[in-house]
Amino acid sequence: MPSTKFQSGDTVMGRWPGSSLFYEVKVLSYDAKNQLYTVIYKDGTELELREADMKNPTGFKPSRRSRSRSPSRRRSRSRSPARTTRRSSSRTVSSTFIAETHNARKEPKLKEVLEVRLVPVVRIRQLKDHADFPCLQSLSVFPPVFAGVFCMTLLLPATVLGLMVVCSQEDASLMSSPPLPALDSLWDLQVFGMVVLWLLFQALLYVLPVGKVVEGMPLKNGERLKYRMNTLYAFVLTVAALGAAVHHKIDLGYIHSHFLQLAVSSLLCSVLLSVYLYVRSRWATQDLLAPGGNSGSVIYDFFMGSELNPRIKGFDLKYFCELRPGLIGWLVINAAMALAEMQLHHLDYPSPAMILVNCFHLLYVLDAFWHEEGVLSYMDITHDGFGFMLAFGDLMWVPFTFSLQAYYLVHHPNHLSLPWIVGIVTLNVIGFSIFRKANSQKNCFRRNPSDPTLSHLKTIPTATGKSLLVSGLWGLVRHPNYLGDLIMALAWSLPCGFTHILPYFYVIYLSILLVHREARDEAQCRRKYGSAWDDYCREVRYRIIPRVY
């Protein structure tokens, strides 16, 4: 940490954003560029504070009123700071501070020290805050949370396999009960070898010294990890390798004919990886753990993951899995399904529906690769531990459920008329434009808030020094990028027609995931930005869909 008034590890008094209350906080790191300290309150809340909002503890006396209260719990019991210090979007942060500091001087009672006996509350709150799972949000006591996590560990893989089995039946209705495949038909050592080879090949491409190296978001200790941006190269080299394989008469139809076995082998790889991750996390120091990453429950930590960025030397396991084997694997499966469709129905070209599905998915994945740097600031990388949920999500869920539409079309051809094709392409273009513009605007604004291309947008200042965009797409709904993602998801399903609901599984999954993710992000932003976030919510009333939600 550079020479600053407060040092990492110091215990000082930090202002709760939007209020005149000060609580005991521990300094974690200092961001010299933005001149912000990352501090942690005793209830586990992490915020960025300016030096002006931090004071030495001397002179603060314990409150007689305050007992076992965290800032966040206080907000729900007493009048919310948002209401007591309500400010409009046009009012500047500094004027708010002056007013509140003045008040605080007149009313010493407002200066309080947090007396903490919060450990169980912290853990439950952090558990509920932890990941993309709605069931964890609604559960408030430990045993059900762990039981829920345990069931998910079994249910999620079963869901993927079940969907794949149903999808291959003529009657792909979710209500149908297709014959279960024999257990030994699910396993083939050669297929397992292929999956391991695939992972090793992708790992080899990851360590190639091509592509620029960039720094990730600051960690708790202020450090920034380095990441090499070369997913696009990995993709191009994979396509070249597959092209060479096809040229040498290797039949990609193998993927279609061994689809279930490939999924089971990928599941096994994700389980083995998660066991490794769990075991190594037992030796990880506190500053390497994700928030709430050490709950004390084996099953919970196995599922959610304890370590934030597990690395072997410079090889980042989470970042590798998030973007490469699963996403590139998804595209390879799609291409194999197009080939299988041509073989099965004796076609010279894939059907228009298959072409649309392949092109839409290709665009989505290439976009993720093109904007690879943006992924470094996504919750999965900066906040979530790496455990079974993400390992399974990346290695099995993404390639085998995201490709269900292409798999479905192999067995359920759907004729598309020209107007339908035009309509579906238009819908995807609209969804993609919203998704891309929203993500780019936010990333650009976070990198450089005074970027001239964004000067026309209105913003709301917050106590942390960062502002929130409040016009343009971010003024339409609070998560325009989710809206675009959902519109695209619908466009991907429509080429499969309306006979079965199965091709719409992706839209349903994404809606649940994004609604939950939005709630989780909202809770984090409210903690981070206090009353400024409430102002934003008043100004932009809808979360994802204008006038609906």
Ligand X SMILES: NC(=O)C1=CN([C@@H]2O[C@H](COP(=O)(O)OP(=O)(O)OC[C@H]3O[C@@H](n4cnc5c(N)ncnc54)[C@H](OP(=O)(O)O)[C@@H]3O)[C@@H](O)[C@H]2O)C=CC1
Ligand Y SMILES: CC(C)=CCC[C@@H](C)[C@H]1CC=C2C3=C(CC[C@@]21C)[C@@]1(C)CC[C@H](O)C(C)(C)[C@@H]1CC3
Q: Which one of residues 379, 422, 508, 512 is an interface residue with ligand X (CB under 6 A)?
A: 379
Does the footprint of ligand X cover residue 466 (CB under 6 A)?
Answer: yes
Q: Which one of residues 186, 513, 515, 545 is an interface residue with ligand X (CB under 6 A)?
A: 513
Which x/- pattern, by CB under 6 A, does the window 155-184 give for ligand Y? -x----------------------------
* CB closest to ligand Y, residue no: 393
Does the footprint of ligand X cover residue 130 (CB under 6 A)?
Answer: no
Does the footprint of ligand X cover residue 482 (CB under 6 A)?
Answer: yes
Find out whether 307 and 281 touch, Cβ atoms under 8 Å: yes
Q: How far is the CB of 390 from ligand Y (least distance, A)?
A: 6
> Which of positions 305-364 make contact with ligand Y (CB under 6 A)?
322, 364
Does the footprint of ligand Y cover residue 132 (CB under 6 A)?
Answer: yes
Find out whether 47 and 22 touch, Cβ atoms under 8 Å: no
Cβ distance to ligand X smaller for residue 320 or 435: 435
Does the footprint of ligand X cover residue 549 (CB under 6 A)?
Answer: no
Question: Could you tell which of ligand X, ligand Y, none binds residue 474, using a CB distance below 5 to 8 A set by kind?
Answer: ligand X
Rounded CA gap, 481 and 435, in Å? 4
Q: Which one of residues 12, 191, 398, 540 is an interface residue with ligand Y (CB under 6 A)?
A: 398
Rounded CA gap, 309 and 312, in Å? 10
**390: part of which helix (H) or strand (E)?**
helix 388-392
Does the footprint of ligand X cover residue 517 (CB under 6 A)?
Answer: yes
Cβ distance to ligand Y smaller for residue 13 or 489: 489
Does the footprint of ligand Y cover residue 492 (CB under 6 A)?
Answer: no
Question: Could you tell which of ligand X, ligand Y, none binds residue 393, using a CB distance below 5 to 8 A set by kind?
Answer: ligand Y
Contacts of 314 (CB under 8 A, 6+ apart): 226
Contacts of 111 (CB under 8 A, 6+ apart): 13, 21, 22, 60, 61, 104
SS3 category, 514: helix
Find out whether 529 and 48 touch, Cβ atoms under 8 Å: no
Q: How many CA atoms lie within 13 A of 61 on its CB side?
A: 5
Q: How far is the CB of 378 from ligand Y (least distance, A)?
A: 5
C-alpha angle 44/47/49, rounded to 5°? Answer: 140
- Per the DSSP assignment, residues forming a β-bridge with 22 are 15, 111
Over the range 1-26, which residues count as b (16 or more CB within 10 Å of their CB) and which as e?
beeeebebebebbbbbbbbbbbbbbb
Question: Could you tell which of ligand X, ligand Y, none binds residue 482, using a CB distance below 5 to 8 A set by kind?
Answer: ligand X
Number of residues that bind ligand Y (CB under 6 A): 15
Over the range 95-129, which residues count as b (16 or more CB within 10 Å of their CB) and which as e?
ebbeebeeebeeeeeebbbbebebeebbbbbbbbb
Does the footprint of ligand X cover residue 194 (CB under 6 A)?
Answer: no
Query: Closest by alpha carbon to 501, among 424, 419, 412, 417?
Result: 412
Residue range at the interface with ligand X (CB under 6 A); choices 20-28, 310-318, 333-341, 513-521: 513-521
Rounded CA gap, 98 and 104, in Å? 10
Residue reference for tokens 């149903």: 166
Does the footprint of ligand X cover residue 381 (CB under 6 A)?
Answer: no
Does the footprint of ligand Y cover residue 394 (CB under 6 A)?
Answer: yes
Does the footprint of ligand Y cover residue 43 (CB under 6 A)?
Answer: no
Q: Which one of residues 99, 196, 368, 376 is an interface residue with ligand Y (CB under 6 A)?
A: 368
Cβ distance to ligand X smaller for residue 389 or 469: 469
> Which of positions 400-439 make contact with ligand X (CB under 6 A)?
435, 439
DSSP character at residue 392? H
Does the footprint of ligand Y cover residue 389 (CB under 6 A)?
Answer: yes
Query: Closest by alpha carbon to 306, among 296, 316, 314, 315?
Result: 296
Does the footprint of ligand X cover residue 469 (CB under 6 A)?
Answer: yes
Query: Closest by alpha carbon to 275, among 308, 306, 312?
Result: 306
Q: Which one of residues 26, 446, 458, 516 is an interface residue with ligand X (CB under 6 A)?
A: 446
Contacts of 214 (CB under 8 A, 6+ apart): 226, 227, 229, 373, 376
Residue range at the interface with ligand Y (CB under 6 A); choices 191-199, 202-210, 391-399, 537-545: 391-399
Does the footprint of ligand Y cover residue 378 (CB under 6 A)?
Answer: yes
Contact positions toward ligand X, by CB under 6 A? 378-379, 435, 439, 442, 445-446, 466, 468-469, 474, 479, 481-482, 485, 510, 513, 517, 521, 524-525
Contact positions toward ligand Y, by CB under 6 A? 132, 156, 322, 364, 367-368, 375, 378, 380, 389, 392-394, 397-398
